[in-house]
Amino acid sequence: MTLVSLLLVAAALIGIGLYGALSQQSFVMLMMGLELMLNGVMLAAVAFWALSGAGAPEGQLLTIVVMAVMAIEMAMGFALVVAVFRTNQADMTEALGELKH
Amino acid sequence: MQTSLFADAIFWVLAALAVFSGWRVFRTDSMVRASFFLLASFIAVGAIMLLLAAVYLGLAMLFMMAVEMMVMALFMVMFMMNPAGLNPMVMVHQHRLSIVAGGLAFAVLGALALFVEFPDRPLPAGLDPVASLGREMLGDSMLVFESAGIVLLATMIGVVVMSSHRGRFGAADQGSLPPGLEPGGVPAGPQPDAEGSGGHHHHCH
């Protein structure tokens, strides 16, 4: 369990999450990609805190902030899904063509 | 950090689980199953945090993600056309670009992890991670912590505003007309719908 191996796992999670966020057509799947990226970010933050930061408390605080970001992203994402679904019965990103002008 | 062979073995199993289930999220036909794969990935990362002595963060991660993924699975059932995975499903766009972008992100971050010299400063011996986090949150970084709380409150209000369609007594704009462009003129802007349109607003271009 070295810093390098932890960071590689985090990089893999961020890469998979980026792939999902860019490729998925469904809003909720897109949000899952974003969540996976934040998952990797939190893992990297904790890894740096434990193995490279000498336990500086700001490292843990950063992870708490990322968790708050995650909760906000989730709540706003679902509210947007509900709002879009109400107006044009859509759950796909392609259905939002009328935002183009 | 002194890690035993046993802890190392657990770490590799958890790491494999986190990456594998993260990958399966986008490869399964069922969206509900996808959210449970994501939950598995989060739980594995939370357990790795526990291995790294981040006790509070690891446990918070487990509890938070269990609830969050349940909500996500519920949303899948409510909104998605294929929640049970009865049909094979490929719903992707710009697939090649996404694969390249994801691979590139992994390559760049992985290269950083491999080739950058990070200082080797493990946790000090007598550190209590939970107490140190608590002292930081309610001490030097209280402004950050409180700001996060305020932002969460603002999010709650915004989410209710965005997702609520009508009040207890009907739509919020029921019976209201915008003022005219000149005194006594025709009301400006879109007219409120007639009764019984089912909540659809068709905006004409």
Q: What is the CATH number of the domain that holds A52?
A: 1.10.287.3510
Residue B143: per-residue pLDDT: 92
Query: Which of B57, B79, B106 is facing A81, going by the closest CB pair?
Result: B79
- How many structural domains compose chain A? 1
Structural domain includes residue A99: no
Structural domain includes residue A77: yes
Structural domain includes residue A48: yes
Q: Is the pLDDT of residue B10 over 80?
A: yes
Read off the pTM.
0.81
Structural domain includes residue A50: yes
Question: Hey, is the C-beta of B92 within 8 angstroms of any chain A C-beta?
Answer: yes
For chain A, the DSSP string reads --HHHHHHHHHHHHHHHHHHHHHB-BHHHHHHHHHHHHHHHHHHHHHHHHHTSTT-HHHHHHHHHHHHHHHHHHHHHHHHHHHHHHHH---BGGGGGGG--
Looking at chain A, the whole-number percentage of residues with pLDDT higher than 70 is 90
How do the domains of chain B map onto residue ranges? 1-84, 130-162
**For B44-82, what is each residue's pLDDT tens digit?**
999 999 988 888 989 998 998 888 888 888 887 777 665
Quote the minimal CA–CA distance from A35 to chain B in Å. Answer: 9
β-sheet bridge partners, residue B180: B187
**For A35-92, what is each residue's pLDDT tens digit?**
999 999 999 999 999 988 887 888 889 999 999 999 999 888 888 888 877 777 666 7
Structural domain includes residue A40: yes
Question: Hey, is the C-beta of B201 within 8 angstroms of any chain A C-beta?
Answer: yes
Q: What residue numbers bound the domain in which A82 lies? A: 3-94
